[in-house]
Amino acid sequence: MPGTLRIALVAHDARKDALVAWARRWEHGLARHALCGTGTTAGEIARACPSLRVEELLSGPKGGDLQIGARIASRELDALVFFPDPLSPHPHENDVQALIRISLLADIPVALNATSADHLAEAMFVVRGQG
């Protein structure tokens, strides 16, 4: 489909509900794009948003963050929506930092909370006439 964006959706456990709620709000726009997500995040979004197809990768601690990072490095993703939990330590914190670092190096848009994700969605969907 012309104009299809490739978007990764990631959330830590404490932030999954917030990402699912965001995906529901933007389901119409997201449905036109290729989506992938880590572990249970992908499944929860797909269940909550029946029109979305979300490719399920490994969970973050089992390599999902690295899979997404590799796609970003290979220019196979156009945007990252990542809702991290800033209040809890994560055993795979190095992977999380690497994911953000590669996004910066690849110069792709990154949203780290619902407000920035809304702005990103408005730019990707509404400006493009897909909202």
Q: What is the pLDDT of residues 2-34, one digit of tens each?
A: 579 999 999 999 999 999 999 999 999 999 999
Are 84 and 78 within 8 A, CB to CB?
Answer: no
CATH number at residue 24: 3.40.50.1380
131 falls within a domain: no
Does residue 52 surpass a pLDDT of 50?
yes
Can you list the positions of beta strands (E) in the chain? 6-11, 34-38, 54-57, 79-83, 110-111
1 falls within a domain: no
Please identify which of the residues 13, 17, 65, 78 carries the catalytic annotation. 65
pLDDT band at 131 (very low <50, low <70, confident <90, very high): low
68 falls within a domain: yes
Range of the domain at 43: 6-126
> What is the pTM for the complete model shown?
0.92
Mean pLDDT of 27-54: 96
Respond yes or no: is residue 65 known to be catalytic.
yes
**11 DSSP β-pair partners:** 83
